[in-house]
Amino acid sequence: MNRRPAPRKKTTVSRSSKAKSKNKKSFPVGKMILYSAAIALAITLVATVYQYRNGFLYYLGFKTDKIAGRLSPEERKIADVRIFEILSRHDTRLVGFDVSEYQDKIDWEAIDKIEGEFPLSFVFIRSTAGKDYVDSRFDENWKAAKKHHFVRGAYHYYRPNENSLEQAELFIKTVKLQKGDFPPVLDIEQLPENQSMDSLKTGLKRWLKRVEKHYGVKPIIYSGESYYNDFLKEEFKGYKFWIANYNFFVENIKDEWLLWQFTEKAEVNGIKSLVDVNVFNGNGEDLRTLTIKK
């Protein structure tokens, strides 16, 4: 008899078995990316904590009696950590603050150190703004700073849309600099509304030259870092700059800056509201070299 060959038995593999086999061969790309991101984040956090370890340890270990401020507790903690860390990094340089009528009446007797550890050596005081405004507490603060042995400086808040020479004359009329004071300071932060940047620069130069002629010393220019880089750095070479930059990740004063205003959130005994704090790019001898000689 002719017999038909028996059919071969097919081997079947379930979908689940195929999936398991596939999983064994390759790690999903999505999970790999998530794991990599998690590792990178962990490394960044560890690095940040290590980088600011002095500030964090200082706050956690010693800062239990902070005076009340206008910041929330969380914001206050972050501000304190940054302030302590920056001042720790610049412990060979001098530290100061700046005030205006916005700080209200100041108890100058109570001002000593910031964060309980870093002595305050100098203060900048707003004197005038625009062509016709005198800070209501300038005279009071100016005399008190001298009495309490702070190296003092006066600054003028420049208004771009007002006559530059009239602004200069108001500053000259208001501020009587003495031996040991900082050179005059021009504060420029605003962009002009009805004039070009070239016109603004011309006005700034007129103010600076008029004030320099009167006091016999080159003024200092204050501004934010972006404003400085975009409009002032190249055009005003030869002037010393006081730069404001509050970026949390900026850690050191730049060589080209005379002063660095690194925070507007400090608390100082004797002052009710928050205060700007500044690092001077030098020591006591450097400061004496800079100040008015006669």
Give residue for tokens 């020479």: 165
Shared domain for 42 and 99, answered yes or no, is no
Which pLDDT belongs to residue 70? 76
Q: Please say if 132 is a catalytic residue.
A: no
Number of C-alpha atoms within 13 angstroms, CB side, residue 29?
0
How many other CB atoms are found less than 10 A from the CB of residue 210? 18
Chain segment 265-275, per-residue pLDDT in tens: 999 999 999 99
Confidence check: pLDDT of 223 > 60: yes
Q: Please say if 98 is a catalytic residue.
A: yes
Measured between alpha carbons, how far is 273 from 155 in angstroms, rounded to an integer?
20
Give residue for tokens 């400085």: 228
Percent of the chain with pLDDT over 90: 73
The residue segments making up the domain with residue 200 are 93-290
Give residue for tokens 């290590």: 50
Shared domain for 29 and 162, answered yes or no, is no
Confidence check: pLDDT of 212 > 60: yes
Shared domain for 277 and 131, answered yes or no, is yes
Q: DSSP letter at 148? A: T
**Does the residue 40 lie in any domain?**
yes
**How many domains is the chain partitioned into structurally?**
2
Average pLDDT over residues 166-191: 98
Confidence check: pLDDT of 26 > 70: no
Which pLDDT belongs to residue 50? 53
CATH number of the domain residue 272 falls in: 3.20.20.80
Chain segment 103-136, per-residue pLDDT in tens: 999 999 999 999 899 999 999 999 999 999 999 9
Which pLDDT belongs to residue 51? 56
Average pLDDT over residues 21-50: 64
CA angle 186, 239, 222 (to 5 degrees): 30
Shared domain for 161 and 227, answered yes or no, is yes
Measured between alpha carbons, how far is 245 from 47 in angstroms, rounded to an integer?
22
**Does the residue 153 lie in any domain?**
yes
Which pLDDT belongs to residue 44? 65
* Residue 269, φ and ψ in degrees, nearest 5: -55, 135
Shared domain for 40 and 100, answered yes or no, is no
Q: Which of 189, 230, 235, 286 is catalytic?
A: 189
